[in-house]
Structure 1
């Protein structure tokens, strides 16, 4: 046997938080040491933070990263540790993993395949390592290899696939296998998205099996830079078998998942493969390190396949946990003193309010009361609180802002929900303010505004009239104002700029309305973990979604203004995610919804495309939103579209020719 203990470290970092990032890395290394780990993999760009954006153009980012790399060296005595950082080599910027061995730098592996799709823009800042071999970089008067290299530590060969490297067809593991690599380390910054865990599992397990290696995957954790949420979840696999899987979407600063592995078993697997090979005689690509892994007694090894613990597969639970972590990190990293929500009694604002309360309960459950308050040490107002309810009263402020068009149904829903989550509740009657605006403009233009002539104007002034007072509450509290617009509304611009879009963060702008309604029913009846339910949501769930901006006798509903949300979301998926033409979208709807008339479906397709094209400017102005689904509409992270366009008019005319 050749037994070593390996570890995958997850860390909740913040871009350019040099000292904070350093301390969390030290904490992860020390935790690994207490577990007896001798080979530890830490995430991609974990020294600087992954989401530094154009700060990767700043020389200071590279000098600070190098400074803290050197500061980490003494903490790795008696261990082998990989850390990620940006590195300047011959006036080019590379995304690198540095292997520290027994307190010294062994060398740097440069990332070969840069993530440049979706939310990722690595090619903007970094150069991919496209050549075989290496060059050198001088640090403190000593030259170190950097590039396409691997390491022989003791007699264990260690190679790297850095995040995206493992997601491509020509992954580096193929070449590493030819050189008889024993362990592949994958330091990643792999963002959370629904269903992504299954893809991640495949490349880890398949890589460990196909290359006959121990595969160690580490990831970032939490809301690092504002929009992206990382789910952590360290993973260790050997020869196609999962041996350890760490917790995902936790509230920890860092955590290490570890396992004892038998290197000889991996070597035996490679012997049995009997496939193409290369004699390892090109020592120019190898860094030899004089270090001996600690002996592990055979009795310490208990080979068995682990399960995917801490990996919730139910979408409702994944959504809740990702949102809780995202909101918590955004609040504390922005040093906001809680949340403010304009609570209408409808689905969107209710879902956000519930999630704000859930993060308190889950945070206390995971960290303990004192640990939770310590993470929010700057938030003095909650430090003397003795219960989650007391914290909620200080942390969550909601306001129901009524006009003459508001109903008793929505008022009661808002009030009952606020009571259930113990939020600070305000009832603000803004009708007099709205009427003053209407009178002001009526007098100015010399005629009264009427619903027959001025419908949209009269609706919008009510939504905009709610913004000043809710912003005032946020300013008074030094809290974060949360915008309540959802993805379905964003697709067609069914939102009032500077009204319901007002806020510093738009947490559900990536989630469609139909799903939110399902999730609220789930939270009412089943709930997180099968026990955390909020029965007061029935007052929300029994309603039809409505903006309540027209007079009550109009019986306004969102779906009457637009189309059924399920159909809107299907058109959006086909048109925007799959880039289908209007005719294709219509034909797909005909197959899925035979109960509707052809002319009705055509009208909805036309409405979607025209509203989509007219409202790109609104999507450009939305507050930052969380990326939860790899079919997002956020133009800053996923879906770019021209603000001005031809509007698909020629393609829409083709619809009339389809029978």
Structure 2
């Protein structure tokens, strides 16, 4: 390469659908991505965070087997020659001086040139990195690292460097951020850019929740806009074994603009994102930033690790141009895609034959069925339009039909989704009609069964045992009797759901079992408006992290997007549990959820956000809502806040057994991962409510004076 040749290179970054602790699968994805990068003419390959073991190993990171297997896999990748001709940046957990670090390994020509440990660990919300890893604190310092025997035996390399350094090539320099570091106020990228790095790579394990991608894009483009340079972002994609869905969106930005962007939701195991860039454009851009040139000489240098390698090896003439506005899905599209692909990963990796859903004809269970319908559409499109052989192989494995070839999304739904309407004398004909119509739109197997005999038998058993007959309130019973009779129906639906999930494939003379889907939304879980161990108890729940308002908007979107016209009737109906006696079965039940809860779903949304994201106790929440709900008196606001905290705390125990749900909101109440609070409360909140009462008097008097 002539010394005066323009510095043009091709960069490759990847969305990888890794699976925690599946080293064979993860290794195959890494190798395939390296192969794709080379075939595309790229000279450097970046991958996602901890891609060898998978990001979501959690307490498996406490096991030495996980660390040893990671190094064994890296040794196999090196031994097979995959890093001989291209620089590879690969994620691996690493022990150094008795501490475990989350590292990037820079590998080229059978040599590990640098281990770059993570500086800032994620320890909030869903993340517990400080439980397993140590933060690297020796900034601008590198140390000797003794390589494990499996590497030394293979390469005869005994040591490498570990620490925060800039990698110097013959024609450019690059450095790293790792995931969380990008979100910090003093992110490393700015200083690395100032010290001469032209390319920053960020390898991430960043999960999806609604409306999150825009923040990432802003941080990346702002970083390169301020300092000039290339920013390469790589992320894991898919469900790697837990509640989170990692939403890809790998991209390459340059000088403040996104020039190449991968999908946020994809059914593919591997998705490459490429860009041909002129590195001289960085120098030209930086010359325009006058203040920067005044600061360079004052900054202490980062240590360098040198690799004898030309990143610019080819004469590319077609540079990758800025793509314009970054692609950001609307929230309703996110609901349609994220939970659907999470369910697909869960299904294809669980060994199940399909899903079973108790379908009530209401909005929540219809939302779950619609998300599965979206999954079926994505699977069909991948097979029919993209000729994706991996997806077809997975579908045939699930259906246990070697020659199965779907001709429509309905063909897929008929194989993987079974729904049952479990009615009682308290159910209306309208909800049954809505459930049937939805089955016709989506194409799933639909069953209808009356469970009154089960209800009557349980009630009779109790009566024979105690000599007392419980009654609904409308028949002269107490509230306690009424609630118990409602719960019998709900819990029997759960028992019947699991029976059908286990035996319906056998009834159809098929092999396998079905996974039971839950359909309790986030707001109901927060309020505790559900029966413990009823049909909201299931194997997985795709809407447990989504609020009712967003579900309504999603149903309105899916009605047209997925062509399910029956959703309009479901959208128009008032949500009802249908557990109390009704006078006219031809009409919807008068048991309306919002009236029974004593609060609207929109109010629950605000309570949830203030409680979790606003970190509000009862008094702080009262003060906040007093400003928001100006049409209410202080006393009315206080009553609503007290009602919420009473029901939240009295039902908090239900969260300890709640179905694992797709994480989609920052005010999720998932007790097991995200929302750590006790489940035994003094539900009177005596001290807090007294404080609210005093504030009510104060603000009421103040309002009179004004």
> Normalising by the residue count of structure 1, what TM-score does the alignment of the two structures yield?
0.95
Distance 2:558 2:333 in 1: 10
Match of 2:262 among 209, 226, 246: 246
Partner of residue 81, structure 1:
88
State the secondary structure of the residue aligned to 1:107. strand
Distance 1:511 1:7 in 2: 34
1:7 maps to 2:9: no
Partner of residue 499, structure 1:
534
Match of 1:127 among 127, 130, 134: 134
Q: CA deviation at 1:289?
A: 0.9
Partner of residue 510, structure 1:
545
1:534 maps to 2:586: no
> Normalising by the residue count of structure 2, what TM-score does the alignment of the two structures yield?
0.89
Match of 1:16 among 13, 21, 25: 21
User: CA distance change for structure 1 residues 616 and 312 in 2, over 3 Å: closer, same or farther?
Assistant: same
1:559 maps to 2:594: yes
Deviates more, 1:117-126 or 1:101-110: 101-110
Q: Deviations over 1:474-510 (max 9, x none)?
A: 1124111111111111111111111122211022111
Partner of residue 136, structure 1:
144
Q: CA deviation at 1:445?
A: 2.0
Partner of residue 189, structure 2:
173
Kept after mapping to 1: 8 A contact 2:380/2:412: no
Distance 2:223 2:467 in 1: 74
Deviates more, 1:471-480 or 1:261-270: 261-270
Distance 2:376 2:342 in 1: 13
Q: Deviations over 1:20-51 (max 9, x none)?
A: 10001111111111211111111110111000
Distance 2:401 2:548 in 1: 33
Kept after mapping to 2: 8 A contact 1:75/1:103: no
1:479 maps to 2:499: no
Match of 1:418 among 439, 442, 445: 439
Distance 1:592 1:432 in 2: 49
Match of 2:30 among 25, 33, 54: 25
Kept after mapping to 2: 8 A contact 1:9/1:257: yes
Flag structure 1 segments of 5+ consecutive residues without an equivalent.
none
Partner of residue 640, structure 1:
676
How many pairs are equivalent? 651
1:156 maps to 2:172: yes
Match of 2:558 among 515, 523, 533: 523
Distance 2:446 2:273 in 1: 43
Q: Deviations over 1:120-171 (max 9, x none)?
A: 1000000000113122222215101011122112231110001111111121
Partner of residue 3, structure 2:
none
1:64 maps to 2:84: no
Q: CA deviation at 1:375?
A: 2.5
Q: CA deviation at 1:91?
A: 1.7
Aligned 1:222-237 pairs, distance under 5 A: 222-237=238-253
Flag structure 2 segments of 5+ consecutive residues without an equivalent.
1-5, 506-512, 584-588, 701-706
State the secondary structure of the residue aligned to 1:339. strand
Q: CA deviation at 1:342?
A: 0.1
Q: CA deviation at 1:652?
A: 2.0
State the secondary structure of the residue aligned to 1:220. strand
Deviates more, 1:625-634 or 1:42-51: 625-634
1:548 maps to 2:566: no
User: CA distance change for structure 1 residues 3 and 19 in 2, over 3 Å: closer, same or farther?
Assistant: same
Kept after mapping to 2: 8 A contact 1:102/1:291: no
Q: Deviations over 1:416-453 (max 9, x none)?
A: 11121111111111111111111111222221101222
Partner of residue 418, structure 2:
397
Distance 1:652 1:261 in 2: 62
Partner of residue 398, structure 2:
379
Distance 2:102 2:40 in 1: 29
1:655 maps to 2:662: no
Distance 1:281 1:599 in 2: 60
Partner of residue 624, structure 1:
660
Q: Deviations over 1:190-214 (max 9, x none)?
A: 1112221111012211222233221
Distance 1:155 1:612 in 2: 60
Match of 2:609 among 573, 582, 586: 573
Q: Deviations over 1:228-276 (max 9, x none)?
A: 1111111111121221111220111111111111222223333443131
1:430 maps to 2:455: no
Aligned 1:266-285 pairs, distance under 5 A: 266-272=282-288, 273-278=292-297, 285=303
Kept after mapping to 1: 8 A contact 2:355/2:514: yes
Distance 1:379 1:136 in 2: 49
State the secondary structure of the residue aligned to 2:142. strand
1:289 maps to 2:311: no
Match of 1:442 among 450, 463, 472: 463
State the secondary structure of the residue aligned to 1:112. coil
Distance 1:579 1:293 in 2: 48
